[in-house]
Structure 1
Amino acid sequence: MFLALFLVTAVLGKKATPTTPEKAPEQEAEANQTLDVSAEDESMELMKEWDEKMQGFVPEDMITFEIQARGEEEFYEVIDIVPSTIRGAWFLASSNSKDIDFTIYDPLQNVVFERKAKKEAIFHIDAKRQGIYVFVFKNTKVMTGHSITFTYNSGNSTNTILKSEHLTPVENNLLGIQKSIKDFQVDNQFAQLRQETHFKTVASANVNVFWFSLIESVGVIAVTAWQIYYIKKLLDNRRVL
């Protein structure tokens, strides 16, 4: 029995001997580092764009919707007063893959904003025509649907009644506090949604790793048991001879 276990261990050890060149782990680590740097740069650019274009942003609406594989979803916004500003953001709430094409059309069906193969985006456009503006989301994934969180705001740039010089210092301070609170609320909502998405992704990965490990363990046990049985049978046959 000890000999059988020794042979099984030797066979498994031989099968597990890596044949990959020594430089492969270094190349893989370098590739992973490049991907991490690229993702970090993209995140920094997004934060910079938010600071530049989304100051004082208050969501007019925020929704989370499902888009099927190879599917398309459209949203409409009617602009009655021009000039107006349409701005907002969206991100994938179910995955980190870049599978979404996002386009905004003006009332004449001209493309006024477009992003291809993204997992999140910030948009800021000046609406100069009255009519219906269309927000189009397209899922380029063939087999997988996605959950998208989408928020926007549209407002007229000429609807300011009071100017800053008309306000007292106390009122200015109160308006500044109100603006800071609204900014914090919006940032907190987005951070919470992104955190929930991250937790779901990690949980899904853990489940996949668990089942893979379980199947692998069952396979190893089955192969080991069969080899022990086979070797024992060979030894029994030799004794008979």
Structure 2
Amino acid sequence: DGVMTSRMIAFLLLAAGASGYITNIGATQEDCYAEEIKRGQKVIGSYSVSQGGNLDIDLRVFDASGKTLYENLGSGDDSFAFVANQEGRYRICFSNAMSTLTSKTVSFNIFVGTSLVDHEIAKKEHLDPLENSILLLGESLHFVVNEQHYLITRERMSRETNSSTNSRVFWWSMFETLALFGVGFFQIFHLRQFLDKKSGIGSGGRRIL
């Protein structure tokens, strides 16, 4: 039983994989990533825009026949999940078509779990309750890891946004301070000139007759 359990754990680690990517998408460009998926496999994904413009991107997920499974337009971060209804090449596409000048940096994770079809066959012929629990636990752990990475990416994105905002506020405050000094100096100079003219004192300090 111990040997069988160890084999099941090894099989689980090999059969279910998670992949993480970071890509830079130019203005008006689109990047697509393909994944070979079997019928019945669970797919979980998440993404976030960490740099560029308004931190927004268009996402579309297509199945093996080209049908749109999921779509989210103009969002900075999101997650999705589905069960493959057929075997083939599934595509995940990020589009920056809405931006004519700014590129976007996108980080995303894809987790492809074990096939539910194969899982059902294995449960009937090979798996005892403990081994079945190990399979379910492994898939749950992968989901948790994927969600943690998603939250970490969002936290990093928020930190970078806050840092950028603080920098802009600092330089704007400096500009306002210099502008106030400039306006104050101009007003004092203009007021002094006005008073000198009213009192009849010339530029050399003599009273004008």
TM-score by length of 2: 0.72
1:129 alignment partner AA: Q
Task: Please show how residues 120-139 of structure 1 align to structure 2 within 5 Å.
Answer: 120-139=77-96
Q: Is the 8 A contact 1:70 1:141 kept in 2?
A: yes
Residue 207 of structure 1 corresponds to 167
Q: Which has the higher helix share?
A: 1
Separation in 1 of the partners of 2:84 and 2:151? 29
Gaps of at least 5 residues in structure 1 are: 1-57
What amino acid does structure 2 have at the position aligned with 1:70? Answer: T
RMSD of aligned C-alpha atoms? 2.9
Specify whether residues 228 and 219 from structure 1 end up closer, same or farther in structure 2 by C-alpha distance, changes over 3 A only. same
The alpha-carbon distance between structure 1 residues 194 and 151, as it changes in their structure 2 partners (threshold 3 A), is same
Contiguous gaps of at least 5 residues in structure 2: 1-15, 202-207
Contact 1:95–1:197 at 8 Å: present in 2 too?
no
2:149 matches 1:192: no
User: How far off is 1:220 after superposition?
Assistant: 1.0
Structure 2 CA distance, aligned partners of 1:179 and 1:110?
Answer: 26
1:64 CA drift (Å): 1.9
The C-alpha deviation readout for 1:54-113, integer Å capped at 9, x for no partner, is xxxx7520112222232211101123x323333312122237947322112233322222
2:111 pairs with 1:153:
yes
What aligned pairs does 1:20-169 form with structure 2 within 5 A after superposition?
60-79=18-37, 81-94=38-51, 97=54, 99-139=56-96, 140-154=98-112, 155-160=114-119, 161-162=122-123, 166-168=128-130
Within 2, Cα distance between the matches of 1:122 and 1:89? 4
Q: 1:68 to 1:88 in 2, by over 3 A?
A: same
Structure with max Cα Rg: 2
Match 1:238 to one of 173, 184, 198? 198
Describe the SS at the equivalent of 1:193.
Answer: helix
SS of residue in 2 equivalent to 1:159: helix
Q: TM-score of the superposition, structure 1-length normalised?
A: 0.63
User: How many residues end up aligned between the 2 structures?
Assistant: 181
Q: Report the CA distance shift for 1:126/1:177 in structure 2 as closer, same or farther (over 3 A).
A: closer
Residue 3 (structure 1) aligns with: none
- 1:150 CA displacement: 1.0
Contact residue 42 and residue 83 of structure 2 kept, 8 A: yes
What's the counterpart of residue 24 of structure 1?
none
Contact 1:59/1:151, CA 8 A, preserved across alignment: no
Secondary structure, counterpart of 2:159 in structure 1:
helix
Measured after TM superposition, the shift of residue 151 of structure 1 is 1.0
What SS class does the counterpart of residue 89 from structure 1 fall into?
Answer: strand
Kindly tell me: are residues 177 and 99 of structure 1, through their superposed partners in 2, closer, same or farther at Cα, counting changes over 3 Å? closer
Q: Work out which of the residue numbers 202, 213, 228 in structure 1 matches 2:188.
A: 228
Change (3 A) 1:121 1:188: closer
Which is richer in strand?
Answer: 2
Contact conserved, 2:64 with 2:87, CA < 8 A, in 1?
yes
